[in-house]
Amino acid sequence: AVDISTISEKTLSSILEQNRTYYTQGKVADYIPELGKMDANAIAFSVVGKNGKVFNTGDVHKKFTMQSISKIIALMIAVNEKGEANVFDKMGYFGSDKPFNHFSNLETTGKPLNPMMNAGAILTTSLISGEGEKPFLKILDMVRYITKNQALDYNKSVYESEKSTGHRNRGMFYLMKNNGLISGNEDQLDNYFKQCSIELTAEDLAKIGYFFANQCVRFDGDSTYKNVEVARLVESQMLTAGMYEFSGEYSRMVGLPSKSGVGGGITVSVPGKMGIGVFSPSLDQHGNSLAGYHMILDLVKQYNLSLF
Ligand code: GLN
């Protein structure tokens, strides 16, 4: 294998150029109307390597919403507050074999498959303590902490757009309330919509990947949240459910814990080594960034990064 210390901005930019045109084969998400306005040609690639060194290429200043990637942050906070057993009493550890907005298994066992599906994620966020917007603010603060970027905020238009069209998510929320899993009011669902609307860059995503790859230690070495078990839990969920129903095939091809969002971002943890962040809003049929997936795949092949 090629030594990862030889990764440079040049490595990343040549991989990016090889994959740039994948945007022509996918489609920008528009089921949340505001997301449909994204620039389909935007593309960025970041790595945070040994000792937190950052490498960036492409549209590195372009911001996008983290969407489903926020689910791993909510999971970490809920487990830190409530304990893993209490969180997973209400949902499964199952891998995803269904699209992210599927109702399984709310109509059979009554519980979501895992915290990476929308249902499980909405439930996870509802388990974070605090009234009103407080749970969302904890998620925002944690993303700001991990990325060391206090300027991060959520995009109000994307939030409003999702709130006014997210009837399927609202349906899941009420079904889980019916099933006795959720006790609060719709503020809890709003917190989920807000967390999905947090805006960041590919570099921020690489820092999130690095954090979970390194036992919840930040890229600059800050170990305030260091926790081996939480990192293992989050990474295992990323591996089995982070790429929606594509997770199994993705594990075969890439072999690394990863989490995608319909905003076009993917964060990847290379355990003990590095974090990768990609952005390109043109998505495949599962909702994963097409160019993003191919950039990750090329880097993984070139440096033999698969866990297996
Ligand atoms: N906000 C999106 C939704 O709930 C998140 C889904 C995703 O990124 N897959 O539909």
111-151 pLDDT tens trace:
999 999 999 999 999 999 999 999 999 999 999 999 999 99
Domains delineated in the chain: 4-67+201-303 (3.40.710.10), 74-196 (3.40.710.10)
Whether the predicted pLDDT of 281 surpasses 80: yes
Provide the pLDDT confidence category of residue 87 given band limits of 50, 70 and 90: very high
Pocket flag, ligand 1, residue 100 (CB < 6 Å):
yes
Q: Is 244 annotated as a binding residue?
A: yes
pLDDT value, residue 2: 82
**Active-site residue (options: 23, 154, 159, 192):** 192
Handedness of CA 23, 35, 47, 76 (dihedral sign): negative
Complex ipTM = 0.97
Q: Is 48 annotated as a binding residue?
A: no
- Active site (annotated) includes residue 79: no
Distance CA 140, CA 128 (A): 13
Residue 271 · residue 48 · CB < 8 Å: no
Report which of 264, 258, 279 is spatially closest to residue 56, judged by C-alpha positions. 279
Pocket flag, ligand 1, residue 261 (CB < 6 Å):
yes
Segment 276-291 shows an average pLDDT of 98
Pocket flag, ligand 1, residue 115 (CB < 6 Å):
no
- Active site (annotated) includes residue 71: yes
Whether the predicted pLDDT of 1 surpasses 70: no
Distance CA 58, CA 44 (A): 4
Instruction: Read off φ and ψ for residue 171, nearest 5 degrees.
Output: -60, -45
Q: Model confidence over 176-229: pLDDT tens digits?
A: 999 999 999 999 999 999 999 999 999 999 999 999 999 999 999 999 999 999
- Active site (annotated) includes residue 269: no
Distance CA 129, CA 176 (A): 18
- Strands 258-260 and 199-200, by their bridges, are unpaired
Q: Model confidence over 224-278: pLDDT tens digits?
A: 999 999 999 999 999 999 999 999 999 999 999 999 999 999 999 999 999 999 9
Q: Is 51 annotated as a binding residue?
A: no
Pocket flag, ligand 1, residue 67 (CB < 6 Å):
yes
- Active site (annotated) includes residue 244: yes
- Active site (annotated) includes residue 158: no
Ligand 1 atom at minimum distance from 101 CA: 10
- Alpha carbon of 216 to ligand 1 centroid (Å): 24
User: pTM score, two decimals?
Assistant: 0.98
pLDDT value, residue 194: 98
- Alpha carbon of 119 to ligand 1 centroid (Å): 10
| Burial 1-15, CB ≥16 within 10 A → b, else e | eeebeebeeebbeeb
Packing angle of the helix pair 187-196, 156-165 (nearest 10 deg): 130
